[in-house]
Amino acid sequence: MQENTFDAIVIGSGISGGWAAKELCEKGMKTLVLERGRNIVHNQDYPTAHKAPWELEHRGRMPRRFLDENPLISKAAGFEEATAHFFIRDKDHPYVQEKPFDWIRGYQVGGKSLTWGRATQRWSDFEFSAPARFGYGLDWPIRYADVAPWYSHVEKFIGICGSKDGIEAMPDGEFLPPFDFNCVESAIQQSIRKNYPDRFMVHARWAHLTQPKEIHLKQGRGQCQARNMCMRGCPYGGYFSSVSSTLPWAQNTGNLTVRPHSVVHSIMYDEKAGKAKGVRIIDAETHEATEFFAKIVFVNASALNSNLILLNSTSARFPDGLGNDNGLLGKYICFHNYRGSVSAGMDGFLDKYYYGRNPTEPIIANYRNLHKQETDYFGGFTTFTGAYRARQNAGSTEVPFGQELKEAFTRPGGWRTYMYMQGETVPKAENHVRLSADKVDEWGIPLLVTSVGYDDNDERMLKDFLKESTEMLEKAGCKDIEAHDSKQPPGLDIHEMGGVRMGKDPKTSLLNEWNQLHHCKNVFVTDGACMTSTGNQSPSILYMALTARAVDHAAGELRKGNL
């Protein structure tokens, strides 16, 4: 027991788990990070980082047999031959879909921080207050002012490019210089500014080091090279991942222990002490059970896995899952609506091009339902957009070959542009996850059952997005505009949230304003599971800010003897 005792245990090594480890270790706590997947070492374990397309066995595509055996994971954004090593295989990690739901996972040290989209807009008070103001959800126990200093704390360390735009719906942060617009993006921005005074298209706010500062160099990271090969693992550390940033930083304190191949079975509850005493794991390779002990536990396994672990953490005190007195654990699962997109061509600008492969995208900040409810649906949407030059013969039925083909490849074609939505969804009790009553995985842990779907609110928002985006491109002078509804199932957005939501009242929520379980104060949940609503902004940087804030609170409570 002495060998397996730490000050703190962190479940998960991804975006929020890495931040928990960094903050805990910096505060002098001996910290154990449990990761169910294999170990990954920055740079050393990026096998395709420098490979050209012709150096990949299948030129970037996956063989038909692989696609047939992995119909789910192969749909993930960014999944291809060069990135497949950072994603699971379908058969290795089954779950039960009561409704269609694509659960995208990457099990390794670093988790999905190696493959995330890297957009990092701050939430505003509109997102924190809207559910209560407009009556479609539970009120958050915090507001923007509570997390604003923690946003700054995180941004300075990880490095965010962007520009200060003074937009009420998307607060400014601590920014490095942005990636600039290309000429067509600038033209579209000017058109939006002219025709829509209440809509703002701004530079990308992305986790990329455009101009590294001393704190980034101390991490061993360097400038983004504009290769747009991020999901292979960046050998330069140009984008933020826990493998290149927070975990090595924590390791340098001498307080970190990382244990890969550790499948968390449950959190152990001490009936006499009235708090959690540690974590039980199953070794992924030997299937041997081991117990680890700590004063505090941070749950950062990613939203649905965090729900699974808490649901499986039963005891005499908590027969339905740790902290689950109100029966709401696993309920109010929500996600982002990515179904809508619009694409178009743009004449002219053929004497212009751009530098590198921009790994970021301009943003149109949410312009719906801010000060008042103005649509027939609740919530709003962020719009991501961009423009690029296609290949000379893209879409042509007359494709040259031989010398003519080679010459054609050296000449860019016309301009294309696009917009796609990241829409808020309304949390509902019927959208839930639960444990299977009769199916278990290879480690004897119940499979997760997902029962999550769209509703009429999502359909109305989608219709509005397609209409408004089409109109914006028309006014910008675009041609051949096409609106698309992908009809993709929930989950493919990879922004699943909720199930262990924050709130003011233990009767209607699981966590308090400090991300503590109401009924088990030494357990903190700071990944997507903690979310009370989805907002429309990208959530990952909020998880990081909430994690740093929760660690600060936990350390203070430990000093006072309250944990």
Side-chain half-sphere exposure of 432, counting CA atoms within 13 A:
12
Report how far apart the first and last C-alpha atoms of the chain are (Å, whole number). 20
pLDDT, greater one: 411 or 116: 116
Whole-number pLDDT of residue 410: 82
Residue 80 in tokens: 């291809």
For the question of whether the overall pTM of this predicted structure is more than 0.95, the answer is: yes
| 390: confidence class by pLDDT, cuts 50, 70, 90 | confident
Note whether 311 and 435 are within 8 A (CB): yes
Domains contained in the chain, CATH given? 5-114+241-335+429-452+498-560 (3.50.50.60), 125-232+337-427+455-485 (no CATH)
Note whether 536 and 340 are within 8 A (CB): no
Note whether 192 and 199 are within 8 A (CB): yes
Which residues are CB-neighbours of 392 under 8 A, at least 6 positions away? Answer: 408, 409, 411, 412, 413
**pLDDT digits 0-9 by tens, 509-555:** 999 999 999 999 999 999 999 999 999 999 999 999 999 999 999 99
Output the DSSP codes for 16-61. Answer: HHHHHHHHHHHTT--EEEE-SSB---TTTT-TTTT--GGGSTTTTP
Whole-number pLDDT of residue 397: 64
DSSP-derived 3-state class of residue 526? coil
Whole-number pLDDT of residue 1: 85
**Average pLDDT for the chain:** 97
| Mean pLDDT computed over 421-426 | 98
| Angle (deg, nearest 10), helices 183-195 and 456-475 | 110
The 3-state secondary structure of 529-562, one letter per residue? HHCCCCCCCCCHHHHHHHHHHHHHHHHHHHHHCC
**pLDDT digits 0-9 by tens, 217-268:** 999 999 999 999 999 999 999 999 999 999 999 999 999 999 999 999 999 9
Whole-number pLDDT of residue 395: 57
Note whether 411 and 398 are within 8 A (CB): no
Whole-number pLDDT of residue 396: 61
| Mean pLDDT computed over 259-287 | 98
Residue with token string 């005891």? 315
**Residue 164 vs residues 172, 201, 361, 380, 394: alpha-carbon distances, Å:** 5, 12, 16, 22, 37
Is residue 393 predicted with pLDDT exceeding 80?
Answer: no
Is residue 408 predicted with pLDDT exceeding 90?
Answer: no
Side-chain half-sphere exposure of 463, counting CA atoms within 13 A:
9
Percentage of the residues of the chain whose pLDDT score is greater than 70: 99
Of the candidate ranges 405-409, 416-420, 456-460, 467-471, the one whose mean pLDDT is the lowest: 405-409
**pLDDT digits 0-9 by tens, 118-156:** 999 999 999 999 999 999 999 999 999 999 999 999 999
